[in-house]
Amino acid sequence: MGSKRQRLGEPGSSFYGTSPGSSYMYNPTPYAYVGQSPPFPVVKLRGLPFDCTEVDVAEFFHGLDVVDVLFVHKNGKFTGEAFCVLGYPLQVDFALQKNRHNMGRRYVEVFRSKRQEYYKAIAQEVSDSRGGSPHRNAPRAKSYDEGKDSAEHTGVLRLRGLPFSVGKDDIMDFFKDYVLSENSIHFTMNSEGRPTGEGFVEFASAEDSKAAMAKDRMTLGSRYIELFPSTHDELDEAISRGR
C-alpha cells in the first residue's frame, strides 16, 4: 500500500504524533488500554451528501483530530459512505456522539469500524484506480481537459484531493522525477488552520510543470490527485487566505 499507509499503523503515544489540543478529547488516559493494544481509531459514516468533501467531514467532527477521510465508491459512483480515521482511540466515542446529526440537510449515521474494514476499502479504491474504474477514468467534459491542455504554464501546479495526513515528503515522492525542495511545496489551510486537501508545487521551470501534468489523476496513497496549471499569484493568494 506504500510507506505512507504503513505509517498510519505505527505504535506510539498516539497513532499520529502529538495533537495540537490539550483537552481530554485529544489526550487519552495512560491507563485506558493497560496490557492490550489500543483499537485502531476509525469510524464509518453513512448517508453523506453526494457533494461532500473532506473539509465537510472535518467540520462535522469539529474538535477531533481527523487524520484521514476515505470516500467509498462503487462502480465509479460515490456511495454516500466514508471512513474517518481519528487521532486517538478514545476520540471514536466522541465521534459516535455525532450519530444522526445533520450535515447540510441530511442526517449522517456514524458507526464503529475496524482497521481491516478500512484497509479493505483502501485496497478496493486503489484496485479500481489501477483497473480502470469509471470513477477514476471517467471522461470529463471535453472543454475541461482542453482547458488544462491549453493553459499557460508558469512552473506552478495546484493539487486537489490530497489526504489530510499528507506530508511534503509524500509530494516529493509523488513527483520523484523532478527536483523539488520542501520550500517549493505548499499546503493550504482553512481559517481554523486545518488542511483543505489542496496544495501548490513550484517546479524549476514551466517545462517541468507541464511535463508533471502527466501525473494528473494518479493515486497518492488511496486518493487520486487532480493537477491544475496555476500561477504564483494564485499561490500567494491561497497562502494569504490560510494565514
Domain that holds residue 162: 156-241
Q: Does the residue 161 lie in any domain?
A: yes
Map the chain to HEC letters: CCHHHHHHCCCCCCCCCCCCCCCCCCCCCCCCCCCCCCCCCEEEEECCCCCCCHHHHHHHCCCCCEEEEEEEEECCEEEEEEEEEECCCCHHHHHHCCCCEEECCEEEEEEECCHHHHHHHHHHHHHHHHHCCHHHHCCCCHHHHHHHHHCCCCCEEEEECCCCCCCHHHHHHHCCCCCCCHHHEEEEECCCCCEEEEEEEECCCHHHHHHHHHHCCEEECCEEEEEEEECHHHHHHHHHHHC
Residues 107 and 162 in one domain: no
| pTM > 0.85: yes or no | no
pLDDT at 135: 39
Q: Please tell me which of 17-21, 79-83, 234-238 the model is most confident about, judged by mean pLDDT.
A: 79-83
Q: Does the residue 77 lie in any domain?
A: yes
User: Structurally, how many domains does the chain consist of?
Assistant: 2
pLDDT at 136: 39
Q: Higher pLDDT residue, 109 or 128? A: 109
Residues 62 and 122 in one domain: yes
